[in-house]
Every structure is written in C-alpha cells, then in structure tokens.
Amino acid sequence: MNATVNAPQVDAQALGKVAVLMGGRSAEREVSLMSGTGVLAALKSRGVDAHAFDPAERDFGDLKRDGFSRCFIALHGRFGEDGTVQGALELMGIPYTGPGVMASAVAMDKLMTKRIWTAEGLSTPAWRQVKSAAETRAAFAALGSPMIVKPVREGSTIGLTKLTTLEQCDAAYALAAGQDPMVMCEQFIAGDEVTCPVLGSGPQARALPVIRIVAPDGNYDYQHKYFTDDTKYLVPCGLPEGEEAAIQALVLQAFLTLDCRGWSRADVMIDAQTRKPYLLEINTSPGMTSHSLVPMSARAAGLSYEDLCLTLLASAALDNPAPKKA
C-alpha cells in the first residue's frame, strides 16, 4: 500500500523573497511557462512572497541584486534542468529546488544516466549512441524492431521517433540530430508504461504512487502529454501490489544512485511478457502543469498541489552552502 504523505509545517514568511524560474531558452519553454504559472499561483495562495522570473528575459544577476532568497526551478530541458542554472545559483549562494549540479547534469544526459544505472545493476533497455544515419541503420539491425531514436539531452519526447523499418532510420536520425548533436537508439520495450515520482532527500526520500499511462495507440507524444485529454492516467495504477512496490523500489534506487535530492520523476516500461521493469530516464525538474504527473501522484498520496509546491520550496538547498560562522 502507498503511505500517505504529510505536508510539513512551513512558515511562508520565513522563506523570504522567492523567484519562480520559468520559461527559459529550451525547446520546452512553452511547457515551462505553464508549470511556472501554476507553481507561482500555488505559492502565492499560501502567503509566499513569490515572483515570476524568466531567465530568457532577465539577467541572472538580478536574482542577487533584487534580494531573492531562494528559487523554485520550474524550468525544463537544457539551460534549466541540466546543471547550468543550478551552477549559477550555487555561485550566487541562492538555494534552489531539486537536484544539484552534478545530478542535474547527469540526468539530463540519457547516455550518461544509462551508463551509471547499468554499472549499478539497474535495468534499462539496450542502447547505442549513433553519429550518423548509417550508424542508426546499424543500430536498427542490432537492437531490432521497433526501435526508439531520440536526442540524448532533450525531454518531453521532442525529436523522438519510434521506427519499425530500416527506411525510417535516416529521417529519424535527422529529426533527433536537429535537436541535439548527440543521438541515441534504444531498444523498444513493449508493455505497460508507468511513471513514479520521488519526494525528499537521502534516507527521507520516498517513492510516491505509481501512475500507469494509457495513451491513444500507445503514442505518448508531446501533444498527448500536454495538450489533449485523450491520454488516461491510472492512479491507483492497477498493477499487482508487489509489482508496484518493486517499481517504487527501483525508481528510488535510480534516484539515489544519481545523488538526486528534493524531487524527481522516473519513467519506466514493464515488459509485457516477463513483467520486468526497465528504467527509461529520470526527470529532475518535472512538469507542474494541469496535465502533469507528479501533482497527480502526490494528490493520490494525500498531498495537494499547493502543499506539494510549498514542500518543494521548503526543501530548497545548495550543494555547497557557505560554512556557518563561529
């Protein structure tokens, strides 16, 4: 059974002046603006002195100059989820939500993530990095059909293709390479698609309820993620209790292996034949829109959207906080 998550008692005034970082320069800017708008409204409703801050329109130095005491990162993708913003905030000494510099950078790089998970014995689909259409065709011969081709450092299925024929390889590589010069091919796992958030840090980190995703024709693409109501999200997920617990344990291990903190959300495929779960990727700044999955899972555990935002903001931290004065 999934345990109820209790919202911590937080003094909104003690959190100081808060910047909700949203927008940014990545391909996921539109989604980030939706996430940030929701977070901003939630924090304000709880009495937090919160303000929108778009790094694409303002200088990062304004955070220090304008007296912001902490940041809620609602940026997605590159220049927000990849360690760059986290590094800037570390230099300024402004605590922020979510994983730190190294964990954010590694998790954004799907190849590096899979190498670490594999080294730690965690299951993830077979893959190959490719640098040309010819190498994509060779990967198709090795990994079989269907095969996924995607940019290494992009999210929200942007630039992703599920292909079933050799003839599709060239176009799939070109699409992915148009988003990122680093491209990977991945074995497709047929079966249930699920996702599972983690909340907390270190020994206090806990996996939230698993959500099973049922998309039209199994096509959980950018449009079905954010802009339609055709996709079904099942929570409770309907999986056998032991199977859900095993996925939660795997996701929690994946989170801790990358040294994540605060929160993240991992995507998993369950092989229809063997029922073995395979880690796909981990998102260190998950979506917080009306269609987003972390709020949905948290709500199933008894944590409202507003309490989730407040909990995350209260967990804002630095990798390298200034030493306390004697």
- pLDDT at position 217 is 67
Give buried/exposed letters for 77-100 (b at 16+ CB in 10 A, else e).
bbbbbbbbbbbbbbeeebbbbbbb
Q: Using one digit for the tens of pLDDT, what is the confidence trace for 149-208?
A: 999 998 767 899 999 999 999 999 999 999 999 999 999 999 999 999 999 999 999 999
Neighbours of 312 (CB within 10 A): 22
Written as one string, the DSSP assignment of 53-104 is: E-TTTS-THHHHHTT--EEEE---STTTSSSHHHHHHHHHT--BSS--HHHH
Domains of the chain, earliest start first? 12-97 (3.40.50.20), 107-123+189-310 (3.30.470.20), 127-187 (3.30.1490.20)
Q: How far apart are CA 316 and CA 133, in angstroms?
A: 43
Do the Cβ atoms of 64 and 94 come closer than 8 Å? yes
Q: Using one digit for the tens of pLDDT, what is the confidence trace for 71-123?
A: 999 999 888 999 999 999 999 999 999 999 999 999 999 999 999 999 999 99
Single-letter residue type at 322: A
Q: How far apart are CA 176 and CA 132, in angstroms?
A: 11
- Terminal CA-to-CA distance of the chain, rounded, Å? 46
Position 9 pLDDT exceeds 60: yes
Q: Using one digit for the tens of pLDDT, what is the confidence trace for 211-254?
A: 999 987 655 445 545 455 678 999 999 998 899 999 999 999 99
Taking CA atoms, 43 is separated from 48, 95, 160, 273, 313, in Å, by 5, 16, 34, 44, 9
Task: Return the active site residues.
Answer: 28, 156, 226, 265, 267, 281, 283, 287
Q: How far apart are CA 167 and CA 269, in angstroms?
A: 26
pTM of the model: 0.91
Do the Cβ atoms of 83 and 102 come closer than 8 Å? yes
* Nearest alpha-carbon partner for 140 in 183, 111, 178, 107: 183
Neighbours of 318 (CB within 10 A): 17
Judging by beta carbons within 10 Å of its beta carbon (0-12, 13-18, 19+), is residue 208 exposed, middle or buried? buried
Place of tokens 């859900």: 244
Do the Cβ atoms of 257 and 103 come closer than 8 Å? no
Angle among Cα 233, 237, 243 to the nearest 5 degrees reads 145
